[in-house]
A and B are shown apart, each in its own frame.
Chain A
Amino acid sequence: MLESIIIDGLIISGVYALLAVGFSLIFGVARIINLAHTAFYMLAAYLIFTFTTSLGLNLTLSIVLSVIAVTIIGLFSYKLVIDPVRQHETTILIVTIAIAIIIQEVMLNQYGGQSGGIPRLISGYTEIIGVKVTYQHLLTFGVALIVLLGTWALLLKTKLGIAIRSTAQDREVANLTGINVARIGMITMGIAVGLAAIAGALVAPLYTLQPHMWMHPLVMVLAVVVLGGLGSIKGSLVGAFILGFAETSVVFGYSEGAFLKGAVALTIMLIVILIRPQGLFGVAFEEER
């Protein structure tokens, strides 16, 4: 049992980490709490399903296509509806919920209650420390790790990453030093949605698809970023692993755990922020001007 907790926990944590890093990035740069973040993750999974079943495309090609398509949709929604109301903090919440509901309803009407499954990219399994692990699970974790490392390198080593981080630290000063803040916001949104789409592509073969599948990850991602500290990438990673493992341990360790998996993770988050109100690695933001 311990082995399956470790394997499943690693995969779930990897997916949460991908989602949380994107969420944290866009919050840091543009102060947007994007409640539609996991809706994009769901959209990616559904697009892969459409491309493979209705259009009969090859699985790898449809994964690439859907990640690109979701990123474009995300950028359009940012430019057309989120950015115009950016000044009104509370209005952003509603606008992003509205985007999530629109995506959910379109999927509900298109596919109804019918739950779809996507074939696995590679079949077969291997045994690690006595547990059967399918190659698909290994691939999922491997890709999540590579993408996370890539994002980390992008943020720390490239000029673009420095621009993103400085915009997150202080928007006005970043603007004064010649960074095009609006374009950085756009690029960050693209990266965030792209990460969500990759996460969706990774879980699509493992879970059954249904139009409400964005709700639970949304709650978990919110818990992860708060636990780790809003705007902190390292915090999001650590938070994702803490809550991912907490969730899997409850599911495996307790017969009625499926009901409690959200509750336990959220309780952990509450305890942590009651002790450290800024989260584990929270950065103190400059007071908004």
Chain B
Amino acid sequence: MISIIGGYIGRAYKEFRGEILVLPSRTVALVFCLILFLVPPLITSNPYDLRILILASIFAIFAASWDLLAGFTGQMNFGHALFFGVAAYTSALVNLHTGLPIWLTIPIGALAAVLAGLVVGIPCLRLRGPYLALATLAFPLILTGIIFVFPDITGGELGVSGIDRLAGSRVTEYYIAITLMISLGFIMWKITASKTGILFHAIREDEVTARASGINTTKYKLLAFCLSGLFAGIAGGLYVHFMRIAGPSTLELMLSFQAIIWAIFGGIATIYGPIAGVFIIYPLLEFADFLPEWRMLLFAIIVMLALLFMPEGITTWVRNKIEKECPRCKLRNIATRKSCRICRADLG
């Protein structure tokens, strides 16, 4: 009995060493998750600090979902706030009028965002490149106009308020947010590493060739829109129950742009890049309140300079410094190795 359990533990440890510790980027990701779980509630009980980290987790899900659609599938979406806003308003209105609990309203909001993904995805199937980007930009702005025209239902400029809290205490809310962020981030990363993810890659690289190879590109593009909508919708639902107000700011042009800024700054087509981008930029911006009026300006200058030196984003730049790709089997190795860990090819 004990030997069986010991065997399992031994195998798990071997797996852990072989899959995670072998690559510095994965070790960094693990350490980052552990720090998020353990450190903040111990060193600070200040609700404001926790609030920043909670919002950063929510926006990290949002930015990563943009990366799933735009980075991996190449469907450049300029109106990603649509999914966030649709989910936020749906969760808020359902919660307000039916009094359903949070663990139901957030999935309902996310489903609404999936529907929004279909509504955007189907007409945009024929569009490519900049046309697609600018067409998607239109959807959240049209919805904002509609919201302002029906202030009785949507609250107009003030938004919908009086919604249930995410949880009783700030610390519980913190754990809900980061647990969801880490697990959803992991799921998205797994999706991009699966066969579906490879098909997404193929569509981005060359849609005509992908179709010629027998891939139903229409189906996979719609799937990308729906998946992206799902994750962004969860983020929207979390946001609305945390802030306890669903206003037109959830559909703003700037929110869509911010998702793009976080994702590209962090490193596009990586999933962990956007998460890192949010966790670098967002707290930095919030804690830099000693210069309130120059905050956005500094932010813009920092992002611009960073991209001039690391045009592919910060995580991609760091990863290329600490790891190198095996020229033969395309697997990543730690930069200090002389030969590939799988195929023994010379890494030069």
Contact = CB atoms under 8 A, between A and B. Distances in A.
B140 to A, nearest CB: 10
A279 B132 CA distance: 12
A133 interface: no
A222 B136 CA distance: 11
Interface string A132-173: 000000000000000000000000000000000000000000
A105 B138 contact: no
B141 A262 contact: yes
Interface residues of B, number: 40
B301 A102 contact: yes
A98 B149 contact: no
Contacts of A213: none
B76 A101 contact: no
Contacts of B307: 85, 91, 94-95, 98
Given A109-B294, A260-B145, A263-B146, A277 B304 contact: no
Interface residue tally of chain A, by bracket?
35 or more
A23 B175 CA distance: 46
B264 A267 contact: no
Interface string A266-279: 11011001100111
A263 B311 contact: no
Contact of A33 (B133, B268, B304): B133
A273 B137 CA distance: 13
Interface string A28-44: 00000101000000000
B264 A93 contact: yes
B148 interface: yes
A215 interface: yes
B311 A88 contact: yes
Given A85-B311, A219-B253, A97 B261 contact: yes
Interface stretch (B54-62, B81-89, B123-131): B123-131
Given A99-B304, A215-B253, A274 B134 contact: no
B134 A222 contact: yes
A180 interface: no
A106 interface: yes
B294 to A, nearest CB: 7
Given A105-B294, A270-B138, A230 B149 contact: no
Interface in A234-268: 256, 259-264, 266-267
B297 A101 contact: yes
Contacts of A94: 260-261, 264-265, 303-304, 307
A259 B127 contact: no
A178 interface: no
A67 B299 CA distance: 28
Given A98-B303, A263-B142, A277 B131 contact: yes
Contacts of B138: 223, 266-267, 269-270
Q: Select the residue from A87, A219, A266 with max chain B CB neighbours within 10 A.
A: A266
A256 B293 contact: no
B312 interface: yes
Contact of B137 (A81, A222, A263): A222
A27 interface: yes
A94 B267 CA distance: 12
A226 interface: yes
Nearest to A261: B145
B257 interface: yes
A36 B236 CA distance: 28
Contacts of A277: 126-128, 131
A285 to B, nearest CB: 9
A277 B123 CA distance: 10
A223 B134 contact: yes
A188 to B, nearest CB: 17
Given A93-B264, A97-B261, 8 more contacts: A88-B312, A91-B312, A94-B265, A95-B308, A222-B137, A264-B145, A277-B126, A277-B131
Top 7 closest pairs, chain A to chain B, by CB: A263-B145, A259-B148, A266-B138, A105-B297, A101-B300, A98-B304, A98-B300
8 contacts: A90-B268, A101-B297, A101-B300, A215-B253, A230-B131, A267-B138, A270-B138, A273-B135
